[in-house]
Amino acid sequence: MTSRPLVAVLTVATGTDGLAATFDALVAQTESRWQWCIAVAGGASAGTLSQVRSMIAAEPRAVAAGRTAGPPGPAALALSLADAESVCWVDAGDTLDPATFATVRDRYRSTSWMYTDEAARSDDGLPTDIWYKPDFAPERLRSQPYALRLAVLPLAQVHRLGGLPATAGSAAWYELVLRAADSLATPAHLAGPFYLHGDRGTGAPYVSGQARDRCLAVSRVLSTRAEPSTGAVVVTPVEARGRPIGQRVQRRLPRIPRISVVIPTAGTSSIIHGFPRCHVVEFVRSVWTSTRYPNLEIVIVHDLHTPQDVLLEIKDITGGEAVLLPFAGPFHFSRKCNAGAVASTGEYLAFCNDDMSVITQDWLHEMASLLTDPGVGAVGARLLFADGTLQHAGHEYNGGHAGHTMFRYAADDPDEGGAALVTSERSGVTGACMLLRATDFLLVGGFSDEFPSSYNDVDLSLKIRSRGLRILYTPHATLYHFESQSREPTVTDEEMSRIRLRWAEQLQADPYVNELLRRPLPAPPSIQVQSRRTPSSTITRGAQCSSDFDSSMVQDALRTSPSRNIPFTSGSGAP
Amino acid sequence: MSLSSGPHQVAQAVTGDPLEILSNVPPAAQLLLRDHIAGLEAEAGSTRAEAARLDRLRLAEIERLRLQLAGVQAERDRAFEERDAALSGWFAILRRGKRWVSR
């Protein structure tokens, strides 16, 4: 049995405020194997050193060094004092739940590193304004220092990763966590507000330090990554309502891949902002004239009853370059999108509803640049209603249902940790505006024929994720989506049963919904689904039945000439 | 009707690998096939997850019953001990009485 402390807590003392609160919180830990490494900053206020000395005298587990202004810097100085299995960072004045280190101890052997939720500390010492974080999301970490408080890292790995360089300034711990995220295995997320902020600072929700330091830290870490495609990045601060929320990471596109924008439409019109608007015409105009992307193809999949003048206007706008694909048959979103994909020539496919309008001119560039990461399988945009509220900021799957993150919130609302304001992972994104590689689209079977109107995007997203790819949402690609705000989405019981049959587990365990907020399926597992294609067969949950596959559909499809063939490898293992 | 005009017409070597054969299927059909496969895999995954969940519940129930059994056994043993203690006391009295009688 080793007597080495489990965790070394690093703190830089710049004044006397709050040190006692942190000290009390450490002494109150139910797991006693900790060490407090205090570095007194060079410009610390008078009395800081004497207070630290009195704490060291009272508590043998506290060690201190201090009053250095130059290199190695106070953060590195605190780290140099550490002699424990792992390290974490606690700002002076912040506190920990008494069970924090006991929880860390219980999980320590089974994970490479870990982080917890965080909250503000109320006057009575209890958590308030809790930031319920998602499970590990690397792009979120690059866009926001969300996994820093409380991050617990193995000390040996910290030294291997270069420690806490003084050049990183106030973002030294952030840079270290970023490097750990790139080098170590996926961390565990300890759900619960273990870390309590004594002072919320100026950030929202709990972003502190210099924005410039954070941006440089992200830029440095990304520039040293192995993938050449992510070598050149521009990182700029992101604010919401005047408060820092994170940063935007803009990647350079090493080349300009051809993007096919597939738009299914019936050529309908409605009143928007008080004026009649033919949706597809205006959206095509918006894409063709406002979008800054040089290698673009527009594929319009239109119903047979689409007015001819609508089609003529589209031809006129695009100079005849738009591909017009007539679609016969009843409404079927998946079939229309799939038909458009087959007819397209783009390396990337952007599926867009017709009732939209471009706000961010470089929306396609932004979305395409995120696909330069080979681990990313699809990207979704931020969509706003006509009144500027959020229509889409990514999907959330919980309790057997699929919902939209922060639906109808103000576009700049920093709630949920600023989830709608920074680029981050999602379990799924809407099919109303989704960009993905054509090869990935084909490999997973495109939009499923099983879902004519609802859940086709949920299913596609989960198929992509089942191949081990991540899905990103970006607020830096923003469009209007003039979907009626008063219309209740019509979801048939059949489609709901089908999606739960396929993805029961994923619809109740979304990794990007905090573990404490996840709910199980509401319905009992006896789901019966009537096949649409062969009405005589039924699928019962848990049964091996797959007889609803109608080979005649393949025969029909075989008659079409191939325009894009890719190696037919079996899909990935089940999730 | 023959399927081809003969092997001498084949320009490329073939492996007969089913996946290679399927890669020549037109994209529209590939989408249907691949979605069907993905759907089956997803359903299988859901079924496996449900089985694992039920297995965890079963193991938890077994553990609960085991603890309950251990508790009942401990209670039983304690009752036996109390009974034995009481009985041994009576036996001692009886034995003493017997000895006294035999004297």
Q: ipTM for the complex?
A: 0.75
B46 to A567: CB separation less than 8 angstroms, yes or no? no
Cβ atoms of A227 and A374 closer than 8 Å? yes
A573 to B37: CB separation less than 8 angstroms, yes or no? no
Distance of CA A240 to the CA centre of its chain: 18
Which range has highest mean pLDDT (A96-105, A555-564, B79-88)?
A96-105
Whether residue A271 is predicted with pLDDT greater than 60 in this model: the reply is: yes
What pLDDT score was predicted for residue A563?
A: 41
% of chain A exceeding 90 in pLDDT: 66
What pLDDT score was predicted for residue A521?
A: 77
Cβ atoms of A444 and A575 closer than 8 Å? no
Q: How close does chain A come to B5, measured CA to CA in Å?
A: 21
B34 to A446: CB separation less than 8 angstroms, yes or no? yes
H/E stretch holding A303 reads strand A296-303
Whether residue A207 is predicted with pLDDT greater than 80 in this model: the reply is: yes
A444 to B39: CB separation less than 8 angstroms, yes or no? no
A505 to B33: CB separation less than 8 angstroms, yes or no? no
% of chain B exceeding 90 in pLDDT: 50
Mean pLDDT of chain A: 86
Over residues A2-8, the mean pLDDT reads: 85
Give B12 or B43, the one with higher predicted confidence.
B43
Q: Which residues pair with A554 in a beta bridge?
A: none
B27 to A565: CB separation less than 8 angstroms, yes or no? yes
B-chain residues near A338 (CB < 8 A): 28, 31
A-chain residues near B38 (CB < 8 A): 444-445, 448, 463, 466, 571
Model confidence at B98, pLDDT cuts 50, 70, 90, reads low
A-chain residues near B24 (CB < 8 A): 562, 565
Cβ contacts of A86 within 8 Å, gap of 6 or more: A6, A7, A8, A104, A108, A113, A152, A153, A154, A155
Closest residue of chain B to A524, computed from CA coordinates: B50
Q: Which residues pair with A260 in a beta bridge?
A: A297, A349
Give A333 or A125, the one with higher predicted confidence.
A333
Measured between CB atoms, which of A448, A466, A546 is closest to B35?
A448
Q: How close does chain A come to B42, measured CA to CA in Å?
A: 5
Q: How many CB pairs under 8 A join A and B?
A: 131
Whether residue A564 is predicted with pLDDT greater than 50 in this model: the reply is: no
What pLDDT score was predicted for residue A70?
A: 59
Cβ atoms of A121 and A127 closer than 8 Å? yes
Q: How close does chain A come to B1, measured CA to CA in Å?
A: 19
B28 to A560: CB separation less than 8 angstroms, yes or no? yes
Model confidence at A227, pLDDT cuts 50, 70, 90, reads low
Model confidence at A363, pLDDT cuts 50, 70, 90, reads very high
Give A411 or B101, the one with higher predicted confidence.
A411
Tokens of A508: 């109740």
Q: Which amino acid is at A470?
A: R
What pLDDT score was predicted for residue B93?
A: 75
B-chain residues near A462 (CB < 8 A): 42
B43 to A501: CB separation less than 8 angstroms, yes or no? yes
Q: Supply the pTM of this predicted model.
A: 0.84
A446 to B35: CB separation less than 8 angstroms, yes or no? yes
B44 to A503: CB separation less than 8 angstroms, yes or no? no
Model confidence at A202, pLDDT cuts 50, 70, 90, reads low
Over residues A185-190, the mean pLDDT reads: 96
What pLDDT score was predicted for residue B41?
A: 94
Question: For A148-178, what is each residue's pLDDT tens digit?
Answer: 999 999 999 999 999 998 888 889 999 999 9
The residue of A529, A560, A568 whose CB has the most chain B CBs within 10 angstroms, and thus the best one to mutate to test that interface, is A568
For residues A182 and A234, what is the distance between their CA atoms, to the nearest angstrom? 18
A448 to B39: CB separation less than 8 angstroms, yes or no? yes
Question: For A512-533, what is each residue's pLDDT tens digit?
Answer: 999 999 888 775 444 444 444 4
B38 to A542: CB separation less than 8 angstroms, yes or no? no
Whether residue A565 is predicted with pLDDT greater than 60 in this model: the reply is: no
Tokens of A64: 């201190």
Whether residue A535 is predicted with pLDDT greater than 50 in this model: the reply is: no
Cβ atoms of A538 and A546 closer than 8 Å? no
What pLDDT score was predicted for residue A226?
A: 58
What pLDDT score was predicted for residue B60?
A: 95
Over residues A46-63, the mean pLDDT reads: 90
Closest residue of chain B to A549, computed from CA coordinates: B36
Q: How close does chain B come to A25, measured CA to CA in Å?
A: 35
Measured between CB atoms, which of B26, B42, B50 is closest to A466?
B42
Model confidence at A484, pLDDT cuts 50, 70, 90, reads low
What pLDDT score was predicted for residue A562?
A: 39
Question: For B67-95, what is each residue's pLDDT tens digit?
Answer: 999 999 999 999 999 988 888 877 777 77
Mapped onto helix, strand or coil, the DSSP state of residue A379 is strand
Closest residue of chain A to B43, computed from CA coordinates: A502
Q: How close does chain B come to A551, measured CA to CA in Å?
A: 9
A-chain residues near B25 (CB < 8 A): 554, 558, 562, 565, 568
Over residues A179-189, the mean pLDDT reads: 94
Whether residue A399 is predicted with pLDDT greater than 60 in this model: the reply is: yes
Closest residue of chain B to A561, computed from CA coordinates: B26
H/E stretch holding A528 reads strand A528-530
% of chain A exceeding 70 in pLDDT: 86
Cβ contacts of B82 within 8 Å, gap of 6 or more: none
What pLDDT score was predicted for residue A166?
A: 81
